[in-house]
Chains A and B, each alone.
Chain A
Amino acid sequence: MTRHPDTVADAIAHPEREQPYAELGLKANEYDRIKEILGRRPTSGELAMYSVMWSEHCSYKSSKVHLRQFGDKKPETDKLLVGIGENAGVVDIGQGWAVTFKVESHNHPSYVEPYQGAATGIGGIVRDIISMGARPVAVMDPLRFGAADHPDTRRVLPGVVAGIGGYGNCLGLPNIGGEVVFDPCYQGNPLVNALCLGTLRHEDIHLASAKGVGNLVVLYGAKTGGDGIGGASILASETFEDGGPAKRPAVQVGDPFMEKLLIECTLEVLHAGLVEGIQDLGAAGISCATSELASNGDGGMHVVLDKVPLRDHTLTPEEILMSESQERMAAVVTPANIDAFLDVCRKWDVDAAIIGEVTDTGRLVIEWQGEVIVDVPPRTVAHDGPVYERPIARPDWQDALIADAPSSLTRPASAEEVRATVLQLVGSPNLASKTWVTSQYDRYVLGNTVLAQPEDAGVIRVDEESGLGVAISTDCNGRFAKLDPYNGAKLALAEAYRNVAATGAEPLAVTNCLNFGSPEDPAVMWQFSEAVRGLADGCLELGTPVTGGNVSFYNQTGDVAIHPTPVVGVLGVIDDVEQRTAMAFGSEGDVVLVLGETRDELAGSEWAHVVHGHLGGVPPQVDLEAERRLAQVLVAGSRRGLLSAAHDVSDAGIVQTLVEMSVRGGSGAVVVVPADVDPFVLLLSESTARAVVTVTESDVDALESLAAEHGVPVSRLGVVGAAGSDLVVEGVYGGTASWSLDELRATADATLPALFG
């Protein structure tokens, strides 16, 4: 290409040139601010950089003022080695080990191109984890789709699942959990979130900063191509309007083999002490990596853009700056270490190029063909983007929604009706077996998977000698968040916290992926601000700090936003994974107990959704103190070896919990509803802070006194049956409801294959 680039000299000489800032997603006031910062109009390269870095996706401009609460309300903890703001938070789990974990969204690309969108979502989050110096050890994927039987779901879901499997399996990372949720509110706006967990020794933590004048900036990994150009600002910041102009540049294409080499190469250079600072290239590519490294370090960097290895030699310098080609990393390396660094890259067949060096000028200067095309204070690009206090207004429909309580819905009134209702629920897409999805993921690779889906949480052994391990779970009930975003966020936290505790792990820290509609809609902004406030308050109350997270806005089509969906991930630690508690029923004759209190709470429930298509009322009461006490019983019970099984109670209540424990273990149970209790409420209410456990008859007293010690109510439900026995519930409106395991399994297993082949 012989096109003359727009240089800094040109910008000074030709201040009048019209620039397409609006097409790049910048508002007029933002463009004016750039001119003010630079004292001139930006060059086209600078405009490209500011536009991607100041996009909602990269700058958090609408969410920043709210997200501060996670820091302001941070509970006292000495477990956080690295907090919010870095690529991912780092948590001390003891014995010199630390873990880092983070969840990110790849919603919009996955709607456009499900396979590559989901695949590169995994790729991006994995690079965040390796940039911290950690070895990725597991992934999980919270997924949400439109109605299960909608034709577009048949396009999106199989592609997303194949993409996650295709990329994650090829990287050699076990996929240990996640969620698959269907709701018409996600039609046109599927949520594809990806979580990665990494482990490291305390001394191996690395941060993204460019320190040491004269140190070299190395770009390594895949060559830069034309994929995903402008993806960060345009794909993630605009909604899909019918009939609008197509702003859909190529979604990035993933190469998991290159990523696998990049993981091994990166960990080898980090462990050999060859790196001063490191940063992955994700959204906004080179623009982001150079400005963030410079901004976090000595403040200056000189880059020669011609040195960037290209896959496509027709790319303009602006495109090179914006390209989101995958599988690339940037490292800052001393001149003394550079040969050793490049040797490691050669060993792994990874391309590497020195593209610049660290300076103390306070400027990020980028050259192209001998001329300066970028000369900016890097902080203004990376950190000093616009910050908005968006208007907030509680939606006018909120009161009507809350007033529409489920009390008038017809409830089953006989044993036969309860039996039929339960089967309807067991086979409904949200509760049905997810094996069709999870069997496409490798859960065994690396050989440290102790528990994986459909267990309450994934459990990974971190230290093979001591048995130290971690548990992780992600949860969110968008219907609860729609009814009450503040408590909905707390409920998501409570469920993930409970799931982790159910395995015997002590909950320690939190990450989140906040999926919402347009921040320009005051009603959405109200949902967002309430959810953040709820999550921050909840984390303070439970003593689990937020270590990082991600915000995804603009998940809406036209005026219709998705349910507010604050996905919460909780990480817990377990001193010896041998002691973990699984969900399958214990042995025949073990006693089935429920911990916690059941109230008549069916607003937003799976029953109201599946049977009546109803959403309204006040969601189940949040009692985080009760959650904490329940967790203490579950963790202590596991450590003392009292529990032969534990499973959290959430969607579709105790009966669904019993069904899952039966099917998983291959034996049913005989359960008796006490005479003074309403069978329907006991079986299907979604009251929180509850779990079903099994213990041997001789341990019942010990468990009851443990629960009493922590003030957790216990009630006896029944007894585990023989292998292959039915699940039987007696005392149901004067009759007995029972299901054979074959019937339950067949019903749960049939749904997804029938829909997706």
Chain B
Amino acid sequence: MRIGVVTFPGSLDDRDAARAVRIAGGEAVALWHADADLHGVDAVVLPGGFSYGDYLRCGAIARFAPVMGELVKAAQGGLPVLGICNGFQILCESHLLPGALVRNDSLHFVCRDQRLRIESTSTAWTSSYEAGQEIVVPLKNGEGGYVADEATLDRLEGEGRVVARYLELNPNGSRRDIAGIANERGNVVGLMPHPEHAVEPLTGPTTDGLGFFTSILKGLVEA
């Protein structure tokens, strides 16, 4: 199974996403922002970082990268896409996911081991988890507060598209403690915390993040 990882100028956690794919048993394929070609991958990860320095607005410039035109079309056609942190911001800017991510309510960048509850296991990226399962993965962001209008939030809740929620402490002021959401079809998921940094006992707080990557590989095998 070939999982593409896109590198934009300023992407930082691209190597980490590729490592997580490999540890989960997949083949990581490097995709370049300027190359309008997905090279036939089976799924794509938009990694964390500061694409284009977060200038203008997080993710606002990256959405115009040549690779994104292809990606938006493919995602609308059902290609599984996981946006982590900056990747989540890019997915919102691209309108593949509703809402937006704004500056943390603390006004500080925050890096911490974050407890989450997996709220939906019916997405392409969370099928390996148990419904309601609690996990701990690193969170690190400066602009991670998820916001959307009340109607959108109600719809996300009603349609079971809230993928993960913050527990114990809301680290960034996200509405309704939302840490991640999915599109209607469940193939596109945006997540503010970093599961790719919780895949090895040596370097992560847990290995709880691996489930996102095993979910997609299992799903692709079964498909």
Contact = CB atoms under 8 A, between A and B. Distances in A.
Interface of A: 162, 165-166, 169-172, 255-258, 260-261, 348-349, 438-450, 461, 464, 577-578
Contact of A445 (B16, B53, B55, B108): B16
Given A170-B53, A257-B55, A461 B13 contact: no
Contact of B110 (A261, A349, A439): A439
B9 A444 contact: no
A627 to B, nearest CB: 28
Given A170-B50, A172-B12, A444 B108 contact: no
Given A172-B12, A444-B194, A166 B109 contact: yes
30 contacts: A165-B109, A169-B109, A169-B140, A171-B12, A172-B12, A255-B53, A257-B50, A257-B52, A257-B54, A260-B10, A260-B53, A261-B10, A440-B108, A440-B111, A441-B111, A442-B111, A442-B140, A443-B111, A444-B111, A444-B140, A444-B194, A445-B16, A445-B48, A447-B15, A447-B203, A448-B203, A449-B203, A461-B202, A461-B203, A464-B19
Contact of A447 (B16, B50, B109): B16
B214 to A, nearest CB: 18
B180 interface: no
Given A439-B111, A444-B16, 14 more contacts: A162-B108, A169-B140, A171-B12, A172-B13, A172-B50, A255-B53, A257-B50, A260-B12, A260-B53, A442-B109, A444-B111, A444-B204, A445-B16, A578-B202
Nearest to B49: A172
A166 B103 CA distance: 13
B2 to A, nearest CB: 21
Contacts of A577: 202
A638 to B, nearest CB: 15
Which of B55, B202, B204 has the most CB atoms of chain A within a 10 A radius of its CB?
B202
- Report the contact-size class of chain B (Cβ under 8 Å from the partner): 20 to 34
B95 interface: no
Nearest to A257: B53
B68 to A, nearest CB: 17
Contacts of A261: 9-10
A445 B196 CA distance: 10
B9 A257 contact: yes
Contacts of A255: 53
B197 interface: yes
B112 interface: yes
A475 B48 CA distance: 33
Contacts of A446: 15-16
Nearest to A578: B202
Contacts of A170: 10, 12, 50, 53-54
Contact of B109 (A256, A440, A445, A461): A440
B138 interface: yes
A262 to B, nearest CB: 11
Interface in B12-28: 12-13, 15-16, 19
Contacts of B49: 172
B98 interface: no
A170 to B, nearest CB: 5
B219 to A, nearest CB: 24
Contacts of B142: 169
A30 to B, nearest CB: 41
A162 B110 CA distance: 11
Interface string B175-211: 0000000000000000000101100101110000000
A172 B13 CA distance: 8
Contacts of A439: 108, 110-112
A757 to B, nearest CB: 9
A720 to B, nearest CB: 21
Contacts of A256: 50, 53
A128 to B, nearest CB: 21
Contacts of B109: 162, 165-166, 169, 440-442
A561 to B, nearest CB: 33
Contacts of A447: 13, 15-16, 19, 196-197, 200, 203
Nearest to B196: A447
B198 to A, nearest CB: 9
B81 to A, nearest CB: 21
A257 B138 CA distance: 23
Contacts of A348: 9
B202 A450 contact: yes
Nearest to B106: A757
Contacts of A260: 9-10, 12, 50, 53
B10 A257 contact: yes
Which of B9, B15, B111, B112 has the most CB atoms of chain A within a 10 A radius of its CB?
B111
Nearest to B32: A347
Contacts of B15: 446-447
Contacts of B203: 444, 447-450, 461
A255 B53 CA distance: 8
Interface in B34-80: 48-50, 52-55
A250 B63 CA distance: 35
A171 B52 CA distance: 11
Contacts of A440: 108-111
Interface string B124-140: 00000000000000101
Nearest to B34: A347
A436 B118 CA distance: 28
Contacts of A441: 109, 111
